Amino acid sequence: MQQPVRTLWVLVAGLGLSALPALAQTKLLRFPDIHGDKVAFTYGGDLWTASAAGGAAVRLTAHPGLELFAKFSPDGKWIAFTGQYDGDEQVYVIPSGGGIPRQLTFDPAAGPLPPRGGYDHQVVGWTPDGSSVLFRAAADADGVLSRTALYTVSLGGGLPKKLPMPTAGPGSYSPDGKRIAYAPMFRDFRHWKRYEGGWAQDLYVFDLATRQQKKVAASKRTERDPMWIGDKVYFASDRDGTLNLYSVEPSSDAVKQLTFQKTWDVRWPSSDHQSRIVYELNGELRVFNVQDGSDRGISITVPTDGGASRPSHISVERNIEGFALSPKGERALFVARGDVFTVPIEKGPTRNLTHSSGTHDKHARWSPDGKKIAFVSDQSGEEQLYLMDQEGKGKPEALTTGLAVPLNAPVWAPNGKHLAFTDKDGVVYVLALADRKLVKAAKDEFGQAGDLAWSPDGQFLAFSLGNLNGMRSLHVWGLGDQQLHRLTGDLFSVTEPVWDPDGKYLYTLSRRDYAPQISNLEFDYAGNRNVDVIAYSLRKDVPHPFPPESDEVGAAPEKKEEGDKKAEAPKGPVSVRVDWDGFEQRGTRVPVPADNLASLEAARGFLLYAKQQPFVYGEINGRRSGGSSLWIFDLKKRQESELLPDVQGWTLSQDGNKVLARTGQGPAASYQLIDAKPKAAEKKTVSTKDLAVDRIPAEEWREVYDEVWRRFRDNFYVKNMHGYDWKALREQYRPWLQHVTHRSDLTYLITELIAELNIGHTYTEGGDAFLPERARVGLPGAHLELDEAAGRYRLARIYRGHNEEPKYRSPLTEAGVDAREGDYILAIDGAELKATDNPYQMLRHKTFAVTLTLNGKPTLEGARQVTYKPIDNDASLRYLDFVLRSKETVDKLSGGKVGYLHIPDMGAPGLYEFVKWYYPQIRKEGLVIDVRANGGGNTSQMFLERLGKKLLGTRFGNNSEHPSTYPSTVFHGHMVALISETSASDGDIFPYHFRFAGLGPLIGKRTWGGVVGGGNSPLIDGGAVFVPRSGTNAPTGEWIIEGEGVSPDIEVENDPASMLAGHDLQLERGVQEVLKRIAEKPMHLPKRPADPVKTK
């Protein structure tokens, strides 16, 4: 029987690169700037300069990391940029004619961020006097009211200074430096064209003296990239459907369109602050003159050596996608980085059978006779099934043609005459090897039938199909009659069928042991350890698989004569017969304790299965340490025993004698071969060190591009691709491929393509980065400020911690650490800290104890030594500080009547915070639920279920005047929900249904508006693409929220002046609304009634 790999979670692949032909005009020139007769830009991840008139470019940097966002200083002598020299993004400057870069910032950058998040420490310009670099960073962000802000850092060094705007994207100074044009919100790297949700940026002018701001450019879509030239602010907007250049006069609000592109966006415009704006268009650079309105292209050739695109021979040991065994377990089969390999168990060569840098080969399975390997490949441009010699001789033969949908792994019939497989749409196919006839055996209307299993004689195919109620039923398709037989109903889910090698029983898994786990937070249940193994007798004459046991005296069998032995006929091949009538009644529970069972297999005399740890939201891969374990059950002895612990995936050889399992996590993972029998002692580690490919990046990049296009075609949530001609868009962007010389270029190309579909959750990430390890900084968990008068740094704020929670450990507040707000930091580990120093530079690579010399005054006299255990990221402390301050505000404004909780996302952190803060405040009279900046996930229904409970009754005992409630855990009070422009995904869905359920009003700003959920598909080079696969609808069926967001009932904007004065107007209004409702309709629990008298 062909055994599919039993993968308990996804194993992903690896890398990608190749060479660029000589070209007259190079495309994919990114993030340009202009000064005098020069332009600077990024190409292939490095910085280049060229004449503003065009011609050959000159390289400025060459480093494995990215160098981005080049900005000339006002005098043209320097170029500031964002670089990844030490793994994370920092601000650097380099002489504009070339030289050695000098680092200006050292505080740890956020991330690594996915492409849609952009880059921390993003250089956006200079101060008008050229003394400092202007950049955007997340250094002080609390993650809710502030996500990124603008900073300046002096050319002479020192700590960056934050501009007063509480939150900001890129900005541009007015010529006199007194005002700044900026967008408070930042989403410049989001893959969503023509976006109209709540996160769409508007432009403002902020007065640095008065701290007042004025909106100067707004539409229902995006305004971005402000550039101040003279008395006008220039910017890009897609208000007409395509990003074009516009100008606005802040004094009159008069907006004028300057360019009129229809096909290609005006990308990343940047000005010389005099008269010219350089921008990207169709991967090339153009210059717009604001004085005469001229717009010309710059023809630039980049003489790159294609370092990141050169072919190379690389290890793919860490890029394994799947594995299997030969029929008897002599060799292992691996798929890694799109190639198919066979590997010896102990001795012999590793063979790359496909050598296909430009195709994604996967789902390889060995034939029962060991001669052939079937696999799925997209070498034709679509995924088809192929067959090749197990030694790699000759070319693979296409077994299917004309299919145009993703295919799943094939399953061999034991006699080698047929292959069964399924596709993305749930169709079950059976292919006859003799005549290549392809038959559609079934279609799963409610999922994908992925548990195919052939009978021992190859005449029947078993699998499960979904039902309308969410359960799955067992089906068997007959090769002889070509008929599909449904064998079980929809009361229980019956899945993962496997055949008894002797043809008597069909074993399955079924979730039917109902002893739910009870929560210790509230009286509620959760399913856990409820899967049984069921044995179905195939025929009515097959005996019970586990008859009553009884110790009896057995008579010794008669001794056969030698001649009789020779005359005894050998055991013939198994012939399977199934009695369809009464099949379900012949099910018997196998005496295996119910558990979280998965990956069932059958060998002669044994059953094998995985036991999974309970799913715990927040643990690695959702499972507690140790993951899953592999067990074996002896059918004769009726005993189970553990074969292997910590198993991530496993496969059984077709003869049922060997198991190959992936054990361990991450780099420590290994592949172990073990006998499929109880108490198997010997384990052999199968070496994967020789898995290697000849990587040709240009071929890989073409493959990735086409595979991404197909993934969207095949999985997009609606068939009409939002009305776009998806084939035409693929060809529109395809010419860029020949200019790709770095994986970041390919990522940009992909994001531009998928962004055309005008939808959220179109993401891509991963692939080759080649970044150095990120430098660690020994942070104290405090905000540092420079006292310029004293010439010393001080602890301006020490972030409070909940030190018993590891993620909220605040080093300077721990027991025995005598640090106080306002203390001056005079030295770090004995090295004096001066005003011209950057304290984060001195804290770099401090991973153990750090000693600070502190004093309440800026002198060494009376100073004390304080040692702390550092953290390398203080974002969680800044978030906790926000939560604590918000809760204190609510307590103060409401006199303790109203509670507060913030839900940061709808995933594990959000669950953690909800549980932490909700239950202790359940007897408050009101509750402010803050989902501003909620990052989404999938748990909103859990929160709504709890918040939506209604008080149905109370209970009194004789020992308290305070009743308990029915339900036992219920909030009985008034609620409001706070929302913001960055409440996203499931953070959109929560407020929509909060209001729909009548739980309370929504206060704040319109949300993001992205609710078409996605799923990721792995790519050949280890990257992934996320395709929106299922939309969100109202109970009546219409599409909701997507592209628009959820509007508040009460709109409140947190303007900078109020925030700088210490106010959170949205929070304050939320408290007011709750108090108003409490006054109008108090919701107290009842007082004890009079004792009943029950005498006559």
668-703 per-residue burial string, b: 16 or more CB within 10 A, e: under 16: ebebbbbbbbbeeeeeeebbbeebbbebbbbbbbbb
Picking from 834, 843, 763, the residue whose alpha carbon sits closest to that of residue 811 is 843
Instruction: Tell me the torsion sign for CA atoms 337, 338, 341, 343.
Output: positive
Picking from 656, 651, 654, the residue whose alpha carbon sits closest to that of residue 606 is 656
CA–CA separation, 307 and 59 (whole Å): 13
Cα–Cα distance between 601 and 363 in angstroms, integer?
19
What is the per-residue pLDDT for 615? 85
Q: What is the pLDDT of residue 617?
A: 84
Angle at CA 800, nearest 5°, toward 794 and 805? Answer: 135
Tokens of 899: 């509670």
- In the block, residue with structure tokens 């080093």: 811
Which of 303, 311, 965, 392 is closest to 693 using CA atoms?
311
CA distance 495 to 462: 10
- Predicted pLDDT of residue 10: 31
Alpha-carbon distance of 110 to 107, in angstroms, equals: 9
Mind listing the domains of the chain with CATH numbers? 30-304 (2.120.10.60), 696-760 (3.30.750), 782-871 (2.30.42.10), 879-1010+1045-1080 (3.90.226.10)
Q: Mean pLDDT for each 10-residue chunk of the chain (1096 residues)? A: 41 35 80 98 97 97 95 98 96 97 97 94 98 97 94 95 97 98 97 97 97 96 98 98 98 94 98 98 98 97 87 94 96 97 96 95 98 98 98 95 97 98 97 97 92 98 97 97 97 97 98 90 92 98 92 66 46 88 97 96 97 82 68 97 94 97 88 94 93 96 98 97 98 97 96 98 90 92 96 97 97 98 98 96 95 97 97 96 98 98 97 97 98 97 97 94 95 98 98 98 99 92 95 97 98 96 98 98 95 92
Do 476 and 460 meet the contact criterion of CB atoms below 8 Å apart?
yes
C-alpha closest to that of 326 among 657, 6, 644: 657
Q: Give the model's pLDDT for residue 565.
A: 43
pLDDT at 771: 85
Q: Residue 434: count other Cβ atoms within 10 Å of its Cβ.
A: 7
pLDDT of residue 835: 94
DSSP character string of 856-919: SSSSSTT-EEEEE--BS--HHHHHHHHHHHHHHHHHHHHTT-EEEEE---BSHHHHHHHHHHHG
Q: Is 1057 helix (H, G, I), strand (E, B) or coil?
A: helix
So what's the pLDDT on residue 11?
A: 29
Q: How far is CA 501 from CA 223, 575, 717, in A?
A: 67, 10, 42
Residue 557: predicted pLDDT: 62
**Which whole-number Å values give the CA distances from 726 to 706, 947, 1019, in the listed order?**
12, 43, 20
Confidence (pTM): 0.94
Structure tokens at 190: 């989001």
Q: Could you give the CA distance from residue 242 to residue 245 in angstroms, rounded to a whole number?
A: 10
Residue 847's alpha-carbon distances to 225, 538, 1080, in angstroms, are 39, 64, 56
